[in-house]
């Protein structure tokens, strides 16, 4: 059995981890960190202390009415993507520990496409001028 890093669970909800294969389980926001425990295996768990959280990236659709998934970017170990039954409540609970300035909105589909075209255009014009 895995030992929790939290001494007090502030919010627990069913969720999904999108790290490699999709794992279903429980998301727990506690006093010392964010945790995910898979339902099917004791070996599949993710524990992120609050000191390691660099930012939280929320994918927002329909003007904030739907948040399909969110990601936690850590200072050392990369980005972990999750979805939850109640993502707004999870983000509110996380916000109390990391601060509102660290929760950011992800780029929309069209913003990603626009940046791609800008980068292609920038490379094309840069090569021509040399």
Q: What's the rounded Cα separation, in Å, for the pair 72 and 108?
A: 18
**C-alpha distances in angstroms, 71 versus 21, 74, 101, 104?**
16, 10, 15, 10
Reported as a single tens digit per residue, the pLDDT across 57-91 is 998 888 777 888 999 999 999 999 999 999 999 99
Which residues contact residue 53 at a Cβ distance below 8 angstroms, ignoring those fewer than 6 apart?
Answer: 34, 72, 73, 74, 75, 94, 97, 98, 102
When comparing pLDDT for 37 and 21, which is higher? 37
pLDDT tens by residue, 24-46:
999 999 999 999 999 988 888 99
Residue 100 CA to residue 87 CA, distance in Å, equals 15
> What token pair was written down for 126?
């840069």
Q: Is there a contact between 29 and 90 (Cβ–Cβ < 8 Å)?
A: yes
Predicted confidence (pLDDT) at residue 106 exceeds the cutoff of 70: yes
Q: How far apart are CA 48 and CA 26, in angstroms?
A: 14
């Amino acid at each position: 059995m895995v030992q929790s890093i939290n001494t007090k669970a502030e919010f627990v909800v069913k969720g999904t981890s999108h790290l490699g294969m999709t794992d279903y389980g429980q998301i727990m926001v506690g006093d010392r960190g964010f945790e995910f425990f898979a339902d099917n295996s004791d070996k599949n768990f993710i524990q992120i202390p609050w000191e390691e959280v660099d930012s939280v990236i929320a994918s927002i659709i329909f003007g904030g009415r739907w948040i399909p998934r969110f990601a936690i970017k850590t200072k050392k170990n990369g980005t972990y993507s999750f979805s939850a039954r109640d993502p707004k409540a999870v983000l509110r609970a996380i916000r109390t520990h990391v601060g509102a300035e660290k929760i950011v909105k992800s780029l929309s589909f069209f913003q990603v496409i626009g940046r791609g075209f800008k980068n292609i255009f920038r490379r094309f014009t840069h090569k021509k001028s040399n």
